[in-house]
Amino acid sequence: MSFRTAISGLNAATADLSVTANNIANTSTNGFKGSRVQFAELFAVSATGTSNTQSGNGVRVADVAQQFTQGNIDFTDNSLDMAISGEGFFVLSDAGAQVYSRAGAFQVDRDGYVVNSRNQRLQAFPPTAQGGFNTGALQDLRLVTGESPPTATGSVEVVLNLPSNASQPTVAPFDPTDPDTYTHSTSMTVYDSLGSAHTATLYFNKEAAANTWTQRLYVDGNAVGTPQNLAYSSAGALQTPAGGRITFPAYTPATGAAPMTLTYDFGDTTQYGQTFTVNSIVQDGYTTGRLIGIDTDNAGVVQARFTNGRSLALGQVALAQFANPNGLQQLGDTNWSETFSSGQGLRGSAGSAGLGMIQSGALEASNVDITEQLVAMITAQRNFQANAQMIQTNDAITQTVINIR
């Protein structure tokens, strides 16, 4: 019986060494979670119970438990690298089957999908038309590889000050090429439906009536609509037009684009006793743009940046958490799959419902403590030697018994 007890100790020590060796081998594996062997005593129990003088029957491996503690976060130069700080797993699609991982080393394949080294596609919540994300659905995260389409200018918000002490032009009639025929002017760039840029110029003429101005709009040197009146109160606030908005007739550019209908908002313009000052001009059009970068915030929202200044939300990285992470099935390559023991994966966005935050441009290192593992290796080695010595002792006793005559 003592032979079997010692052999069980050898097997247990061998299992301990095997797990320790695997932990040490994966010290540099991103997203790796170390394991720990848990042992249980072997004890024979009969139907009538056990004797007070009965000894145990050895040891067995009860479980190899994974340790889902946080690994260190190391920063990288790849904006697609992601690390989870806190609870949760990345959700990946492996040919349609969902797997989970803590390793966030991602790249882009030839079709624009965000994948890991095994070509498993990162899953994300798709954006909605309202600007949010549909957390009830998952899709493969795919980067935009084409150009950002243009948007024609529709509205322009103008914030400026017209000097109350300005004089009327000395020369008439109005001529946009002659500065003596108008009081002040300012220009801006607007875009048509094809993304072509056009120069829109506003001309302002001080009128004889107090606090009254005439405003004209020209696009590419062509008059758009008729002159419009701007009237201010004695406090310098705009009174006419009511609401401050003027919509000009459609202008058809020579580029073949759709007619442009421009609405100017003069509601924040003033007439004070200062110089002519343009504080801001904001228009809502864009030309075409090329992809220049990808940004991911702490909530996992992936934004594409374009040369035209626009940003486009491509999706929100989905995370999953489990009631019993130790019940997950290890698949290798720092992947896990859901099991009955782990419970169903609960998906959500980073920072919600107990899920951790996402750090872009970083990777989570292995959570293995090399010093701790070396100590565990020495301990397992000593256990193996002690059990081997027990077998030798039992063998010597057996030989002594056999040699008795």
Confidence (pLDDT) at 362:
96
268 and 330, same structural domain?
A: no
Q: Identify whether 130 is part of a domain.
A: no
Confidence (pLDDT) at 46:
59
CA distances for 274 relative to 278, 281, 287, angstroms: 12, 19, 35
Q: Identify whether 43 is part of a domain.
A: yes
Give CA–CA dist 43/129, Å, rounded: 65
Give CA–CA dist 229/140, Å, rounded: 54
Q: Identify whether 143 is part of a domain.
A: no
337 and 326, same structural domain?
A: yes
- What would the pLDDT profile of 253-306 be if each residue is shown by its tens digit? 999 999 999 999 999 999 999 899 999 999 999 999 988 889 999 999 999 999
pLDDT higher than 60, residue 155: yes
For residue 375, the tally of other CB atoms under 10 A from its CB is 12
Q: Are strands 155-161 and 184-191 parallel, antiparallel or unpaired?
A: unpaired
CA angle 393/395/398 to nearest 5° reads 110
Residue that terminates a domain, selected from 216, 249, 283: 283
User: How many structural domains are present in the chain?
Assistant: 3
Amino acid at 14: T
**Domain encompassing residue 251:** 155-283
Q: Closest by alpha carbon to 252, among 281, 276, 220, 282? A: 220
Q: 112 and 143 in contact (C-beta within 8 Å)?
A: yes
Residue that terminates a domain, selected from 263, 283, 303: 283
Q: Identify whether 98 is part of a domain.
A: yes
20 is written with which tokens? 């320790």
Burial 135-171 (b: 16+ CB within 10 A, else e): eeebbbbbbeeeebebbbbeebbbbbbbbbebeebee
298 and 275, same structural domain?
A: no
Q: Identify whether 58 is part of a domain.
A: yes
CA distances for 131 relative to 126, 301, 308, angstroms: 10, 12, 20
Give CA–CA dist 303/75, Å, rounded: 20
- What would the pLDDT profile of 90-116 be if each residue is shown by its tens digit? 999 999 999 999 999 999 999 999 999
174 and 278, same structural domain?
A: yes
244 and 359, same structural domain?
A: no
Give CA–CA dist 297/253, Å, rounded: 40
Residue that terminates a domain, selected from 250, 283, 316: 283
Q: Identify whether 139 is part of a domain.
A: no
Q: Provide the sign of the torsion angle of the four alpha carbons 70, 76, 79, 80, taken in this order.
A: negative
Residue 191: φ, ψ to 5°: -125, 145
Q: Identify whether 279 is part of a domain.
A: yes
Q: Identify whether 135 is part of a domain.
A: no
SS (H, E, C) 276-300: CEEEEEEECCECCECEEEEEECCCC
pTM of the model: 0.75
- What would the pLDDT profile of 350-376 be if each residue is shown by its tens digit? 999 899 999 999 999 999 999 999 998
- What would the pLDDT profile of 135-152 be if each residue is shown by its tens digit? 999 999 998 777 888 999
278 and 160, same structural domain?
A: yes
